[in-house]
Amino acid sequence: MILTPDFGYGGAERSVAAISRALAERYQVHTVVFNKQIKQVYATGGSLHSLDVNGGVSLIQKVVSFFQRIYRVKKLKKKLGIHICLSFLEGADYINILTKGNSKAIINIRGSKLYDANITGTLGWLRKRILIPILYNRADVITVVSEGLKTELTKYFAIGKHKSFITIPNFCDQSEVLRFSQENLIEENLLRAHPTLVTVGRIAYEKGYDLFARTFSRLIKDIPDAKWIIVGSGSFQDDLKLILDAERLTYSETANLNQQSNVWFTGYQQNPYKWMAHC
């Protein structure tokens, strides 16, 4: 079983899809999401299940949803005879660990908990001081994408050094990247006319777009015709535009592209490699 909150546009979701396809070639794979409110973007291997439990707005609703997910995952693991459950993202990690029973719980850590700007306030304190230290120590295996994350978990979150850690760096299929990079791009001639920088990913505060915006505003003083191509979308996009305004950087969307703009927003792209090929 592979457990994840949803199938949005994030890197974790892309990894879940890729791993499910790879494992499905040799094993029986069941991918489980909390709900299908967010449209599935990436193709998965094996079978797909939804718990049909939406996230709550109030604290009481969140607590109710949390226990509903525990009950339904536990029931599903028993029904399907699950031996191993891999979970991605913190909410899914909690559910995986609390429902592991006779199965093995493997949690996958792909980003910093210590420097995550979204883990704040009373709930953030609860997550950092109580939930992560207690629950993560009950996982059978913790996989991380870097040795730095392993050090962070053991040093700041009291995860026992005896815990079984496996470092698996992010990977990519080089042949697939090269194949996708050769697809036609309508804006190709515009890109060839300017020196360009391309960033790819979810537009979120923790990705550092605000820092890059300020850096880019200095860069174009030396290279006035440089373009910053932002491939992706996300919750921080409106805030980023305010920062661009403050830095006196002009921007436009590719649907209504202004070639004179300093920054181009492409929105989410199923194939970002054809943009990267022209940077």
Burial profile 35-53: b = 16 or more Cβ within 10 angstroms, e = fewer: eeeeebebebbbebbbbeb
Could you report the per-residue pLDDT of 14-50, keeping only the tens digit for each? Answer: 889 989 999 999 999 999 999 988 888 788 999 999 9
Coil, strand or helix: which one is 73?
A: helix
Q: Return the closest-CA partner of residue 127 out of 135, 147, 163.
A: 135
Question: In the chain, where are the structural domains located?
Answer: 2-167, 174-276
Domains 2-167 and 174-276 share a fold: yes
Cα separation, 39 vs 194, whole angstroms: 35
What are the tokens at 59?
A: 């604290």
pLDDT by residue for the chain (279 residues), tens digit each? 999 999 877 788 888 998 999 999 999 999 999 998 888 878 899 999 999 999 888 889 989 999 999 999 999 999 999 999 999 999 999 999 999 999 999 999 998 999 888 888 998 999 999 999 999 999 999 999 999 999 999 999 999 877 899 999 887 788 989 999 999 988 888 888 899 999 998 898 888 999 999 999 999 999 999 999 999 998 899 999 999 999 999 999 988 888 899 999 999 898 999 999 988
**What are the φ and ψ backbone dihedral angles of 84, each rounded to 5 degrees?**
-135, 135
pTM of the model: 0.82
Coil, strand or helix: which one is 2?
A: strand
Biggest alpha carbon–alpha carbon distance for the chain = 63
What is the helix (H) or strand (E) element at residue 204, kind and residue range? none
Burial class (CB in 10 A: 0-12, 13-18, 19+), 98: middle
Give me the residues paired with residue 27 across strands.
Answer: none
Question: Taking the domain 174-276, which CATH number applies?
Answer: 3.40.50.2000
| Helix pair angle (59-80, 90-98), 10° resolution | 60
What are the tokens at 50?
A: 């939804």
Cα separation, 161 vs 150, whole angstroms: 9
Question: Taking the domain 2-167, which CATH number applies?
Answer: 3.40.50.2000
Cα separation, 187 vs 169, whole angstroms: 33
